[in-house]
Each structure stands twice: as structure tokens, then as C-alpha cells.
Chain A
């Protein structure tokens, strides 16, 4: 089982805790300043980072597995270089580094967190989606929807959450979410709680844009109901 758990590094964890709750995510345990987890479809982890540090405002693609040995075996068999470490507060941790330098980490302790209205959807930008796709599939994610233009493909994890590959430069990772509920109602809730929120039409669907406590945009995409230009794979 694989569960998507993007990690958001932030100098403002308390503000993120409040945002997560307003979004409807449920704390897995009482939120702590250094580390907290919020359950939706997948898990949003909030990790404290010092203000001004290189990590503050960064999102990492992190996955949980209930069989780390098998994930490592499959990645190595697929030809990827995997570093295995045992950080004191995490336990066994696999780090896969793509040719672009982007890293994906996998740790144990997967728990099923699926079915909620709000799903984790970290976006991994890459000039070429071939290698990132192979990495995610080797880890155990399954392709769901792909654009016919080859600029987007997203994946499901059987333990909950999604990951998307988005054509673009920079090799960066951005946090985004996918929502099965009513975006306008969610926007009202965010606004009432003092968060910035506006819903716009995009070519592929409607999107809610908010501003995170770190000052960057958070995109929350409505589940697609018109697949023109896209193909459902799985």
C-alpha cells in the first residue's frame, strides 16, 4: 500500500494548522509545532522550517509504504538509484533522485487515508515526464488521467492521495489539492476564516486559488467532469 503524504516545510506551522482545519482536513494527532499530519485523501504533513531557511515554503513529494523492501527492490530493478538511510525520528527512509536532481522519499508506516473530499495532489514539474512517471510507477502509484498533449499525467495511490506530473521547467514541486465537493462553498469557508480565496474557470475545470501562510498560491482543482483533451487511463 502506498499513501501520498506531501511535506510542507514552513516557518509558520500554526497558520498552516489553521488553514488545514478550515480546508476540512483532520489532524491525525494534536498538531505539534515541529511536525503535524492532517488527513484528507492522503495526508498533508506540516514540518517546521526556520524563517529564511532554504526549506521554508518548500513542498516535498513524500510517500508512505507498508512494504519498504519491496519498493526498494522494484525501484532498483527498474534501474533507479536508491539511497537507504535510517534517520532517528523517521526510521528507514528511501531517497530516489531523478536525473534532474529532484528527490522523492518513501518511508514506512503507510496507513490508509482515502475517500475524503479533499485529496493531496503535489505537482512535480519536469521537462520530460518519462523518467518521473517511471519512478512513480515503480514505487506503486497508478496512472489515472493524462492529457492528450502529454503535458499532464496524474497518479493514484491505493492508500490515498494523488501525485501529478506537469510539463514545465525548473524541476520544482508545488502543493496542490483536488476537491470533490463544491468549490464555491469551500471558498466561502476560507474567506470567512480570513483566507484569500477566489474561484476561476480554467480550460480543464474550475480552480480555487488561495494564498498560503508562506505567501505562495495554493491551487485547489475541482475533480474533472469533462475529459476533453484528456484520457482516463486507470
Chain B
């Protein structure tokens, strides 16, 4: 995986997955609506889900 230094100084790696085209389009549009980079939005969504998941599983 390619590794780069993020603008905040943290290290990032490229993460390649397959998603339905319509979902890709939706998340890109959401990023535009929120004025966020796509990477930052997806990071936030994933982190929020993972942080909430243990509680949802109890």
C-alpha cells in the first residue's frame, strides 16, 4: 500500500476496495455538500461506525 504523510502530519495509507457505483457517487456528493475531502469524510464515517459498533453489539 502506498503510504503518504497527511496534511495534518499523520501517516496515511491508500486503501483500495470495491463499492457499488451508486454508493460511491452518494458519498462523493455528500463530501461536496459538506465541503470535506473524500478521504476525511470516509475516515470519519468509518471511525464513527467502529467506535459505535461494540455498544450496538451488547
Contact = CB atoms under 8 A, between A and B. Distances in A.
A29 interface: no
A202 B38 contact: yes
B38 A203 contact: yes
A157 B29 CA distance: 29
B49 to A, nearest CB: 19
**Which secondary structure dominates where chain A touches chain B?**
loop
B25 A226 contact: yes
Interface of A: 149, 151, 198, 200-204, 226, 228-229
Contact of B14 (A200, A204, A226): A200
18 contacts: A149-B35, A151-B35, A198-B2, A201-B24, A201-B28, A201-B38, A202-B38, A203-B28, A203-B29, A203-B31, A203-B32, A203-B36, A203-B38, A203-B41, A204-B32, A226-B25, A226-B28, A229-B32
A228 B33 CA distance: 9
Given A198-B2, A202-B38, A228 B14 contact: no
